[in-house]
Chain A
């Protein structure tokens, strides 16, 4: 069974500083990987995704993520955070095996931006 681990429950970053949110997955084959962001009281917005090809993927709002098969990781990065980036971030893995399984989400990382 697939699983996703986000080891950091909370992260506090100063505005303008760089950010890295960690995500490790467990999956038998090459997974489909996603990062979603959830602002308070809002739904899930897709930041970026990895299906195949270039292991460094660019997303919206200046985010990027790198797929590292050897480390089973898909960490999310941003060079300079803005106060509006404060939110909950979820890493998710999807089934590349052909079924219509739902996504498996990590528990999320709560990002706090301090002035």
Chain B
């Protein structure tokens, strides 16, 4: 069964450093999403992406964040200058058509020191 994959599974970085989280969505899906889950809290929507541009974004997704689909398979989330409060699990998701089921990847646990 096709699945969403994410790399790395864990990342530790120093405050102020840039990080790039990578995702490979399900191959025939068209809509891509990033969510985050701070430890012990609920999953929060960051951004959705369609047709090579941002479709929707939450108030969390500020100028420190960017997304890109650099090729036909990868979908990345970049945090330009990480802060301590960026420490969280980051989930990528994809869906085949709008309003359809979103399938989630296993997540990348980011720790900012």
Contacts and interface: CB of A to CB of B under 8 A. Distances in A.
A104 B31 CA distance: 16
B62 to A, nearest CB: 16
A96 B99 contact: yes
Contacts of B46: 102
Interface residues of B, number: 25
Majority DSSP secondary structure for residues of A touching B: loop
Contact of A107 (B42, B99, B103): B42
A94 B56 CA distance: 13
B35 interface: yes
A103 B102 CA distance: 9
Interface stretch (B11-19, B71-79, B80-88, B104-112): B104-112
Nearest to B30: A100
Given A100-B48, A100-B55, A105 B101 contact: no
Nearest to A92: B43
A44 B33 contact: no
A51 B77 CA distance: 29
Interface string A88-109: 0010101110111111111110
Contacts of B55: 99-100
A7 to B, nearest CB: 14
A46 B98 CA distance: 17
B112 to A, nearest CB: 19
Contacts of B43: 44, 90, 92, 103, 105
Given A36-B104, A103-B45, A107-B41, A43 B91 contact: yes
Interface of A: 32, 34, 36, 42-46, 49, 51, 90, 92, 94-96, 98-108
Given A92-B43, A101-B48, A105-B42, 9 more contacts: A46-B104, A95-B99, A96-B99, A101-B45, A102-B33, A102-B45, A102-B48, A103-B43, A106-B42
8 smallest beta-carbon distances between A and B, as pairs:
A102-B45, A100-B55, A43-B106, A44-B104, A100-B48, A105-B43, A107-B42, A105-B42
